[in-house]
Structure 1
Amino acid sequence: MSGRPRSQQYALVNLHLPILLVYAFGLVVAGLWYSRKVSSTRDFFVAGRQLGAGLLFSTMLAANIGAGSTVGATSLGYASGLSAWWWVGSAGFGSIVLAFWIGPRIRAVAARHDLRTVGDFLEYRYGHSVRALITVMLWFGTIAILAGQLIALAWVLNAAIGLPKSVGCLLSGIVMTIYFSAGGIASSARVNLIQLTVLLLGFALALPLSVDSVGGWDVVTGVADGDYGNFWNGPNSGWILIPMLVPAFIVSPGLLQKVYSATDDRAVRVGVGATAVALLLFAVIPPILGLVALSAHPGLENPDLALPTLLMESVPPVVGSLGLVALFSAEVSSADAILFMLATSLSQDLYRRYLSPEADDVTVLRVARLAAAGGGALGVALSVVAESVIDVMTIFYTLVSVSLFVPIIAGLYLRWTRTPEILTAIVTGVTAVLVTHLAATVQIGISAMVGLIVSVTTAGLVGAARISMRQERRER
């Protein structure tokens, strides 16, 4: 906040701090209030399968507009320009596929067989070995994306009230863990509606006022000359994000399990379809805010601070406070989807499946809440030592795309696929990502592309070999 006199800085802290505290307290109270009706794992995991199109839209959009779509995408806009559109735009493309093809189909399977997690689907389709492998891999990957949300929240608190990053990560982790652990998806879906309203209102006010503060659109478009004006490609952004992000937003467990909660296929098509449209439109905002921040505050050492700094320095204080609260909403609403993945994977996919198959609903619900708390603690620990929002989120999105895309798509549309080819696809795809990443410095998205190609190819080869061998045995 070096751009304002010290007296104004203290005044801003006095304004922002109570607003953020009241809002955070309100989220916790709302989560605890809605959790009163959550008494079973069916409510906690899939909200009783009673989410209509409206609630599904709000909880899906709130989950998708998080640290990567706000702080992360704006930092890409600050560093790369208009090509940052592809970070959120790719999520919109993935949501279109989820809305009209994958979502309705997997929801129907889940409802018919009372499946509550993606792990349930993987075991139903391929057996327990695939479920166990994916559960372990994604649990560690999910910690990374949770850390990304906490880093973004910490930078918001740092810019607003000067809190050290480590303290901001800790406080943010406490807030999101308490309100989610109480009620799971049944309560978070309703709290997400509050968060989404605040988020959209904050950005709707902050965008035009921040543009006006730097001299209008002519100044912003002037900054977008040269490489910054290249829509298709930029440093760590552009169309190359497609192989990493589009599959992730089709098969992410946190999103699929929200789809499980829908009342029917129409709710999925309408709710998730509306989410896709909103994401494609929202994708324009972070690159513009990044360019505005570049105009107003060139030379920031940490691009992750571009958006918080812009809200603190370049808009009226009241609007800045609302914008910071909107950011807080965005990160917390995404974090609850992540905690949901952590809670369900440990309680349903590991505890009930392998450790205590006879456990009743009360016990599994308690384990789910403890798993969310434990995952939150690990996320805080990683966020304290990690630096960049985009870096840690890239780990998760790449892992999800490469490990889950083939199992989910093949499980829904290719009846001939079996466990051997799926295990091969997962292991070879993830191995290819690691080898590509370690062997050379590659642009973001390249390792995911290589992993997907290897995963699809090896699954096809193993499947073809298995079918050929089976036919030979029959002919004998």
Structure 2
Amino acid sequence: MDIAIIVVYLVAMVVVGLWAARRASSTEDYRVAGRRLGPLFYTGTMSAVVLGGASTVGGIGLGYTYGISGMWLVMAIATGLLVLSLVFAGRITRLKIYTVSLVAVGGWSGMSDRLDATFFAPDAMGFQSIIAMFVIYGFGMLIGQDIWQRVFTARSAGVARWGGTSAAVHVGLYGVAGAVIGMAAAAVLPTLENSDDAFAIMAQQHVPAGLGGVVLAAGVAAMMSTASGALIASATVARVDVVPLFKTLVTGQQNSRPSVRGDRLYLLTFGVVVTVFSVLVPDVVTALTIAYDLLVGGLLVAILGGLLWRRGNSLGAAASMAAGSVAVVVGMLAFGVMANAPIYIGLGVSAVVYVVVSLSTRPTDPAVLGAWDRRLAGQSGDSVGEHA
């Protein structure tokens, strides 16, 4: 029964996808939903792209290991999304660019009887680890291309601001619920070899037949929504920013005319590559940590610097991104992938390089700054390009 429900869900997703494909008549429709989503759809799509395998399987796995303290990964994501929505969403939307079960254990008292007291301590994960999660995942929400691309779908700054806030509240509650489910799993399944299995086993063994299939299908939906958002974001960056840059440098030719078919081919290519990586790194929290360490350590300083510091320039941004990314990799090799040090090393190196290179090279052309200011003010008469 459970498997049948999942198969029905997947078939339904294919049917909906084929129907939706007919409605995407332009690259703007395909990449950012035509920039026309209202509050309800925007809140749903933002929640969908944020809540994925790491929030569901990884969050429950952390709850299985650390108890209620396992909520902090998802709470960090919710906090970053809240800051993005209230502080930066208005600016981002104006840019117009493309380029983020207790029943089985007898309730709470039943868990109290079966679990060690540390499972109920919010700081059981360790204060340093909690702070690192907010640095990695909270800041990651501020600069992730997949998150920004969802912000671009809002039809107005108000929708982006308050829809994102609603999504952040939803995500925070989801994080607490995931940690509690993980605690329940630790009480009834104390000998799991892999904590990431807690979600699937609880759905199969401790939820009524049929309803368990709905829960598993919901988990699949969460993973697919996040994966699809991240893939569209990656494919858009490659097609809009990276490939045209290299094409111009090598051949001197400008980018070819954008097309939905081209975007889909990029998406398919990235999907195959990501599938290979997902097989090589099966632990979802480890995979997310690697990705967000590189994202935040390499891009945070350059992106926020571009938004907040007028003396920063493109050379400083490029140098800081390269230096920060290399520093994160070196930190991972020296201290381990899951250590806290790599992200701090990457951020420190990136900040120093950004400031030094920006101050030692020519400032940004006043005309470009003027166009940038007009775009931030929502005036579309001048353009500074269709990519960030």
| Same structural fold, with TM-score higher than 0.5 when normalized by the shorter chain | yes
Partner of 1:419: 314
- Find 2:226's aligned residue among 316, 321, 334: 334
Offset at residue 427 of structure 1 (A): 2.3
CA distance in 2, matches of 1:293, 1:299: 10
Partner of 2:170: 278
The answer to whether residue 22 in structure 2 is matched with residue 36 in structure 1 is yes
- Find 1:219's aligned residue among 110, 134, 146: 110
CA distance in 2, matches of 1:224, 1:409: 43
The answer to whether residue 369 in structure 2 is matched with residue 383 in structure 1 is no
Deviation per residue, 1:140-193 (Å, 9 max, x gap) = xxxxxxxxxxxxxxxxxxxxxxxxxxxxxxxxxxxxxxxxxxxxxxxxxxxxxx
Q: How many residues align?
A: 357
Aligned 8 A contact 1:66 1:330 in 2: yes
Aligned 8 A contact 2:53 2:284 in 1: yes
Aligned 8 A contact 2:290 2:337 in 1: no
Task: Supply the AA of the counterpart residue of 1:311.
Answer: A
Deviation per residue, 1:92-120 (Å, 9 max, x gap) = 1101111011221121122xxxx2229xx
Partner of 2:378: none
Tell me the secondary structure at the aligned position of residue 103 of structure 1. helix
Tell me the secondary structure at the aligned position of residue 39 of structure 1. coil
Partner of 2:341: 446
CA distance in 1, matches of 2:337, 2:261: 43
1:442–1:328 distance in 2 versus 1, CA, 3 Å: closer
Offset at residue 354 of structure 1 (A): 4.4
1:411–1:380 distance in 2 versus 1, CA, 3 Å: same
Partner of 1:253: 145
Aligned 8 A contact 1:83 1:231 in 2: yes
CA distance in 2, matches of 1:409, 1:223: 46
Offset at residue 441 of structure 1 (A): 3.9
Aligned 8 A contact 2:324 2:349 in 1: yes
Partner of 1:149: none
Tell me the secondary structure at the aligned position of residue 317 of structure 1. coil
CA distance in 2, matches of 1:465, 1:24: 55
Tell me the secondary structure at the aligned position of residue 191 of structure 2. coil
User: Unpaired segments of 5 or more residues in structure 1?
Assistant: 1-14, 119-209, 469-476
The answer to whether residue 294 in structure 2 is matched with residue 312 in structure 1 is no
Deviation per residue, 1:226-256 (Å, 9 max, x gap) = 4333312417953331111111111100110
Deviation per residue, 1:294-326 (Å, 9 max, x gap) = 111111111110110011111211221111111
- Find 1:287's aligned residue among 157, 179, 183: 179
User: Unpaired segments of 5 or more residues in structure 2?
Assistant: 248-252, 364-388
Higher relative helix content? 1
Report % sequence identity: 30
The answer to whether residue 48 in structure 2 is matched with residue 62 in structure 1 is yes
Task: Supply the AA of the counterpart residue of 2:3.
Answer: L
Deviation per residue, 1:196-216 (Å, 9 max, x gap) = xxxxxxxxxxxxxx2111121
Aligned 8 A contact 1:23 1:325 in 2: yes
Partner of 1:230: 121
Aligned 8 A contact 2:145 2:234 in 1: no
The answer to whether residue 256 in structure 2 is matched with residue 359 in structure 1 is yes
The answer to whether residue 135 in structure 2 is matched with residue 243 in structure 1 is yes
Deviation per residue, 1:392-441 (Å, 9 max, x gap) = 11111111111221122111121111123222321222222122222224
CA distance in 2, matches of 1:361, 1:439: 43
Deviation per residue, 1:6-30 (Å, 9 max, x gap) = xxxxxxxxx1121111100101111
Aligned CA-pair RMSD: 2.1
- Find 2:2's aligned residue among 16, 32, 35: 16
Q: Decide which moves more: 351-360 or 295-304.
A: 351-360
Offset at residue 223 of structure 1 (A): 4.7
Deviation per residue, 1:14-71 (Å, 9 max, x gap) = x112111110010111111122121111211222211122211111101111000000
1:237–1:77 distance in 2 versus 1, CA, 3 Å: farther
| TM-score, with length taken from structure 1 | 0.71
Deviation per residue, 1:363-392 (Å, 9 max, x gap) = xx2221111111111222222233211111
Offset at residue 465 of structure 1 (A): 4.4
CA distance in 1, matches of 2:352, 2:21: 45
CA distance in 2, matches of 1:33, 1:262: 22
Aligned 8 A contact 1:227 1:234 in 2: no
- Find 2:290's aligned residue among 379, 395, 406: 395
Aligned 8 A contact 1:84 1:237 in 2: no
Partner of 2:57: 71
Tell me the secondary structure at the aligned position of residue 426 of structure 1. helix
Matches within 5 A, 1:117-266: 117=99, 210-234=101-125, 237-266=129-158
CA distance in 1, matches of 2:110, 2:129: 23
Deviation per residue, 1:122-146 (Å, 9 max, x gap) = xxxxxxxxxxxxxxxxxxxxxxxxx
Tell me the secondary structure at the aligned position of residue 238 of structure 1. helix
- Find 2:265's aligned residue among 370, 374, 383: 370
CA distance in 2, matches of 1:405, 1:259: 17
- Find 2:80's aligned residue among 94, 109, 116: 94
Offset at residue 353 of structure 1 (A): 4.8
Offset at residue 87 of structure 1 (A): 0.6
Task: Supply the AA of the counterpart residue of 2:160.
Answer: V
